[in-house]
Chains A and B, each alone.
Chain A
Amino acid sequence: MIAKRERIEARFLPEIKRMAERAALLNGLTLTDYLAKLVSEDAPKTLKYHNELTLSNQQFDDFLQICEAEADYELSDEIKQAANRLDKEGF
């Protein structure tokens, strides 16, 4: 069974379009399959990059430690002042 296809409309500069057509042919692909291949290769990387902040081992451990050590981390006077100002004055 062939999955239902959806249409993408896009406008390209002529030189980009020619280049894509040639590269697709050289890969033995239709233009559609070639563009699909490019997206399948790049999109997961991009999505992952935007959904993850990577830390080194040391940084990661420091980060977790700060998250869990509640006692020695409190609101600063400056942030309290800002919160009070919003509560009193509104926007």
Chain B
Amino acid sequence: MKFSQKFCAVENSKHLIKNFDCGKKGMNQFLSRFAIKHTKLGLSHTMVLTVDDRKDKKQVAAYYTIAASNVIRRAIPTTQSLPHYPIPITLLARLAVDVNFQGKKLGEKTLIYALRHAVRLCDRGLPAYGLVLDVLDEEALGFYKKFNFFQPFSDNPMRLFVPMNVLRSL
């Protein structure tokens, strides 16, 4: 099975978004029902990797969703009264591989592609101090942890983090 060599923005007319099945209902539903609407409203951007065939509507093998977000310092009165500004970050909100294409290292390749995408966005003027990963479940956490690369972001174990300046050398 051959794949296209680039991810592209999800489009209803080009991609079989309803056929995608990664084994997690919420992730399938996001792609089929919400991803395009999110993109239109600028809430997040979903990129898909398709099977490289001649069909008009191509099968989606993997997708990821990124969004811009901000890190806020909780407003707790402290003795120091320094001003605190929201710190812009890029959020890797979703990453999924269709069950038919799992076990081919597609997940980790998608991750690398998405991380590099985040760096490009930063270089093109979307400021971000780093990339925060939203982790879906224990299985996903295991996947990210094996890279021995991502830091805990807060006391929420389902959020991981990597600074942008580290990603630049990827």
- State the Cβ distance, B53 to closest chain A Cβ, in Å: 14
A66-B161 in contact (CB<8A): yes
* A90 interface residue per 8 A CB criterion: yes
* B49 interface residue per 8 A CB criterion: yes
Give the distance in Å from the alpha carbon of A75 to the alpha carbon of B167 in the complex: 8
Which residues of chain B are within 8 angstroms of A86 by Cβ–Cβ distance?
Answer: 108-109, 112-113
Q: Mark B69-87, 1 if CB is under 8 A from A, else 0.
A: 1111110101000001011
* A78 interface residue per 8 A CB criterion: yes
* A40 interface residue per 8 A CB criterion: no
Q: Mark A52-91, 1 if CB is under 8 A from B, else 0.
A: 1111110110011011001001111111001101100111
Give the number of residues in B that approach A within 8 Å (Cβ atoms).
46
A57-B155 in contact (CB<8A): no
Instruction: Give the secondary structure class of B's interface.
Output: mixed
A76-B69 in contact (CB<8A): no
Given contacts A75-B166, A91-B4, contact A51 B70 (CB under 8 A): yes
* B146 interface residue per 8 A CB criterion: yes
B149-A76 in contact (CB<8A): yes
* B29 interface residue per 8 A CB criterion: no
User: Taking CB as reference atom, which chain B residue is nearest A53?
Assistant: B71
Which residues of chain B are within 8 angstroms of A51 by Cβ–Cβ distance?
Answer: 68-70
* Chain B residues in the interface with A (C-beta under 8 A): 3-5, 43, 49, 61, 68-74, 76, 78, 84, 86-87, 89, 91, 105-106, 108-109, 111-113, 129-130, 132, 146-149, 151, 153-155, 159, 161, 163-166, 169-170
